[in-house]
Amino acid sequence: MTESFDNFWAIYSNLVLTIGINGLLALSIYLTLSCGLLAMANAAFMGIGAYTASLLTMNAGAPFSVALLGGMAAPTLVALVIGAPTLRLSGVYLAMATLGFGEVVRVAILNAESWTGGALGLNGIPQSTQWWHVVASLVIVLLVLWRLRRSRVGRAFEAIKEDGVAASLMGIGVLSHKMLAFTLGAAIAGLAGALNAHLTFFIGPSEFGFDRGVDILTMAILGGTGGLTGPVLGAAIITLLPELLRSLKDFRTMVNGIILVVIVLFLPRGLWDPLRFKQWWARRKAVTAASGEKR
């Protein structure tokens, strides 16, 4: 039993840990979405976290814990700076501005060659990420977000998401709450980036571009953004899908596109939708009750 597990782990440990890291990323975009912000900068924040942490361990010889903290702090600071002007924008305007910011970060990484290795990326990052680092991070982030949802702040997020003007009239500081969601999301994305860099031991600027941002969004939307389960479920599916669809070869990623369109068209609240489950359950109960009466 343990032997077969060892075999499984030797082959699939990277895949399993990637699910955890992608789960963190999906949760980071869930946080901003739960505050009604469509911010597409998470891939960029992930990149900033990954590069900061890697430079800390490789060049400064910092211990892994310091690198992880640095990987969270750097994107948080950047989020504070760009959040102030951009969070004034609403809806799609914010999405565009953050997409633009993501490109700026990618190009900046590409051109700061003496630090980041430019297009070649950073190679030989120590593989310090153990399985329990990922599990602990995911559990801690889930606990924090779960606590947050049930708190005054979480309810304020929800109020802002439903109607920002009404929320501000109720005395909620809209901009400061948006800033909190944005910076906290950046910190989580940075943590994911730092963990990922120390798992794959190579990072390059193209990993943190538009496509990664889209992937992160797809995970959250696929799973559903109504709660914490959805994003993690979506992350697991999107991570496993390429492995399951190996037989489709070149058309493999095409399925991602189809899934995205189909989910948006037919399951707008995502796969994990407690409300829908409840409705199904109620309907089944009603049906069985009705057939019971007939008898």
Partner 1 sequence: MLEQQLVNALSLGSVYALFALGFTLIFGVLGVINLSHGAVFMLGAYAALQAVVKLHLPLWAALIAALLFSGVVGMLIDVLVLRPLRKRNAPHLIPMIATIGIGIFFNNAVQGIFSADNQRFPSDLLPDQQVYFAGVQVSVLEIAIIVLSFALMGALFFIMNRTQIGRALRAIAESPKAAALLGINVEGLFLLTSFTAAALGGVAGVLIALYSNAVFPLMGQPILHKGIAVIILGGMGDIRGALVGAMFLGFAEVLSVAYIGSTMRDAVGFGLLFLVLLLRPQGLFGKVLERKA
- Of 93 and 277, CB closest to partner 1: 93
CB of 64 to partner 1, least distance (A): 32
What are the beta bridge partners of residue 202?
123
Q: How far is the CB of 99 from partner 1 (least distance, A)?
A: 5
Distances (CA, A) of 215 to 190, 219, 220, 224: 16, 6, 9, 14
Angle at 181 between CA 134 and CA 121, to 5 degrees: 50
* Residue 7 in tokens: 């075999």
Nearer Cβ to partner 1, position 170 or 290? 170
**How does DSSP assign 110-168, residue by residue?**
HH-HHHH-GGG-EE-------HHHHHHHHHHHHHHHHHHHTSHHHHHHHHHHH-HHHHH
Nearer to partner 1, 15 or 169 (CB): 169
Q: Which is nearer to partner 1, 86 or 128 (CB)?
A: 86
Nearest CB to partner 1, comparing residues 9 and 93: 93
Quote the least distance from Cβ 42 to partner 1, whole Å: 14
| Residues in touch with partner 1 (CB under 8 A) | 38, 82, 85-86, 88-93, 95-97, 99-101, 103-104, 107-108, 110-111, 165-166, 168-169, 210-211, 214, 217-218, 221, 249-254, 256-261, 264-265, 268
> Between residues 192 and 221, which has the closer beta carbon with respect to partner 1?
221
Instruction: Give the separation between CA 72 and CA 21, rounded to whole angstroms.
Output: 14
CB of 287 to partner 1, least distance (A): 27
Q: Are 223 and 50 in contact (CB under 8 A)?
A: no
The nearest distance, CB 66 to partner 1, in angstroms, is 29
Report how far residue 6's alpha carbon sits from residue 213's, in angstroms, rounded to the nearest whole number.
34
Coil/strand/helix, residue 269: coil
Other Cβ atoms within 10 Å of 10 Cβ, number: 9
Of the pair 57, 183, the CB lying nearest partner 1 is at: 183
Q: Look up residue 3 and give its two tokens.
A: 């032997």
Residues 6+ away with beta carbon under 8 Å from 137: 20, 24, 191, 192, 195
Find the shortest distance in angstroms from Cβ 74 to partner 1: 17
The distance of closest approach from Cβ of residue 168 to partner 1 in the complex, given in angstroms and rounded to an integer, is 8
Q: 3-state DSSP call for residue 4?
A: helix
